[in-house]
Structure 1
Amino acid sequence: MTEQTAHSIPFLITRPAGKADNLLATLDESGIAYLYQPLITTAQVSLKAQDQQLLQQADMLIFVSVSAVNSLQSQCDAALLQAPLFAVGQTTASALQRWLARDVAVPVDQRSEGLLQLPQLQQVAGKQIVVVRGNAGRELIKQNLVARGASVRYVQSYKRLPLPLDGALLCQQWQLAGIRCIVATSNEILQQLFSLVSSAHHHWLQQCDWILVSPRMQDSAVALGIAAERITLADNANDSALLAAISQLKRKYQ
């Protein structure tokens, strides 16, 4: 939390632990007051021999998150990963480049939809494609690439886990702090907030402003009773896009 009075803290940041450090540091430098409360954490999943074989034999490797990269890096020989590399977002691509020192294809539209528009992924009939990800997640990439004739397999390098939190106590703290805007970077976090907070306080969540990162998240938020005019869509989930959206709302609050 920044060194501000408790009643001047408009933003609640919910990005998972380990993924928020740069954003929080930038908010501190910019003098923007916030509370930080991660709702989920990640745990490494041990690779099986079959996973190692899939990675080595792949024609293309797709990474969907920084956690997918980091959890694989800690238990996989980089020499196994010789296939062309793809990342959904620039932060994930940068993590891959630091590890493997190779080019990574990343879309301008840093979502699954953008990835699927890359020219390299249009003619993939007969290709063996491996997607490195966590537990569950969207099926859009696999569905589309299979429809284009590819064989797609998953390698799970990590899993997401909800943190054991007292939702009633947290909601009380957020209200006392004067939170006006909640920043959520995944549907999982959005749903977790509404699960964590009792239904009696859902009205408070619905009256907050929200910064979300995709039209799909906006649809989910509207289904949860959040008015569309309370939602600001960041261009994507990276730090600079989130900071731009937060700065925009900060000006509104002044």
Structure 2
Amino acid sequence: MHGMNRPAYVPADTVWHLISMRPQGQHDTLRSAAARLGARTVALSPWRLQMRTDEASRAQMASARDCDRVVFTSPAAAEAAARLLPLGELRAGSVVAVGEGTARVLRRHGVAKVHAPSRMDSEGLLALPAMQQLRGLRVALVTAPGGRGVIAAQISARGATLQRIDVYERLPLPVSKATIARLLALPPPYVLALSSGEALQTVLPYLPPALLEQWQQAPVVAASERLAELAAELGFSQLHLAAGPLPGQLASAAHAALFPAAG
């Protein structure tokens, strides 16, 4: 995208931090990826995930067996769905994942063939051959309330009958005063890992003006151009594009943003 920053030099022996806005309890993979590159991770969870296990959700997921396409929008959606239905029962060739992380979960739960894009975002998913000729088909979107509106809108616009199946929900978590104090005291350099626009927009209202200003001047690694554009609209100026949303991709982009000489 236009306006991406060139990496700024930071001495190679500098201690640096990566701020993770993953859901509560889901920071470990990013923490491990960052640690391999010499970073310490600061966990800042905007919400926790709660899986739905009620009979209505189970029945909705069961109905996905009759759908022509079953689209999973995240690894969490795949994990939650697997608690409601053996995923190997879905129609062969019908399963679509937003990215490789989601595809791995689906394969682990018995789905032999998964359509997944190399560009791991909504636009990449919608560009898949399996998502082109949808007129007259039944498409299940396995997801959570909020987010991924682009996928739902395009599925309907392409003539499919859309069935939305919310298999988990995000329960907001307040940002504590202790966390704010820690973030205010965090020495630079640090990098924000951005893989969810909704997560960023949930966290920002909790930040006092001084901290918001610090964040807007810090490097941001975005998992997609769409997220980078959102960050720019929210006043962030040091934008860097990761190869995708996987933990290793985000951590590598963050390291490259600070230490270009090591690349």
- 2:70 is the counterpart of 1:61: yes
What is the deviation of 1:122? Answer: 1.3
The amino acid of 1:248's aligned partner reads A
Match of 1:72 in 2: 81
Q: What one-letter code is carried by the residue in structure 2 that aligns with 1:42?
A: L
Q: Percent identity among equivalent residues?
A: 25
Contact 1:185–1:212 under 8 Å retained in 2:
yes
1:35/1:135 CA distance change after superposition, 3 Å: same
Report the secondary structure of 2:39's partner residue. Answer: coil
What is the TM-score when the length of structure 2 is the normalising length? 0.84
1:184-234 deviations in Å (ceiling 9; x for gaps): 21001211221121245321221221111122222221222112xx01111
Matching residue within 112, 117, 122 for 2:127: 117
Aligned amino acid, residue 223 of structure 2:
V
In structure 2, C-alpha distance between the alignment counterparts of 1:141 and 1:149, rounded to whole Å:
13
Q: 2:102 aligns with which of 81, 92, 98?
A: 92
User: 2:219 is matched by which residue type in structure 1?
Assistant: D
Question: Hey, what's the Cα distance between the residues in 2 that align with 1:253 and 1:210?
Answer: 19
Match of 1:149 among 138, 159, 179: 159
* 2:216 matches 1:210: no
Pair 1:12-2:19 in alignment: yes
- Return the alpha-carbon distance in structure 2 between the equivalents of residues 67 and 55 of structure 1: 17
Match of 1:162 in 2: 172
Per-residue CA deviations over 1:34-93 (Å, capped at 9, x if unaligned) read 322322211012351640343122111100001101111122233542251100010000
Kindly indicate whether residue 192 of structure 2 is the aligned counterpart of residue 177 of structure 1: no
Alignment partners' CA distance in 2, 1:71 and 1:149? 28
Contact 2:21 2:200 in 1 (8 A): no
> What is the rounded CA distance, in whole Å, between the counterparts of 1:196 and 1:142 in structure 2?
30
Render the CA deviation track for 1:113-172: whole Å, top value 9, x for unaligned.
111111122112111010100111122122222222111111000011222321x43232
Classify 1:53/1:12 alpha carbon distance in 2 versus 1 (closer, same or farther; 3 Å): closer
Change in 2 beyond 3 A, CA 1:226/1:55: same
In 2, distance between residues paired with 1:200 and 1:182?
16
Distance 1:209 1:243 in 2: 12
Mapping 1:45-56, distance limit 5 Å: 45-47=52-54, 48=56, 50-56=59-65
In structure 2, the partner of 1:248 is 256
Residue 8 of structure 2 aligns with which residue? none
Shift of 1:18: 4.2
Q: In structure 1, how many angstroms separate the alpha carbons of the residues matched to 2:112 and 2:88?
A: 12
Matches within 5 A, 1:212-251: 212-227=222-237, 230-251=238-259
Aligned residues: 245
Do the aligned residues in 1 keep the contact of 2:147 with 2:198 (CA within 8 Å)? no
Tell me which moved more, 199-208 or 80-89: 199-208
Q: Bigger CA drift: 231-240 or 199-208?
A: 199-208
Q: Is the 8 A contact 1:8 1:177 kept in 2?
A: no
Q: Which residue number in structure 2 is paired with residue 4 of structure 1?
A: none
More displaced, 14-23 or 81-90? 14-23
- Conserved in 1, the CA contact under 8 Å of 2:216 and 2:236? yes
Structure 1 segments unaligned to the other structure (5+ residues) = 1-6
The residue aligned with 2:7 is none
Range with greater deviation from structure 2 (130-139 or 50-59): 50-59
Pick closer, same or farther for the CA change 1:77–1:194 going to 2, 3 Å. same
User: Which letter does structure 1 place at the counterpart of 2:229?
Assistant: D
Distance 1:189 1:93 in 2: 22
Larger deviation, residues 201-210 vs 85-94: 201-210
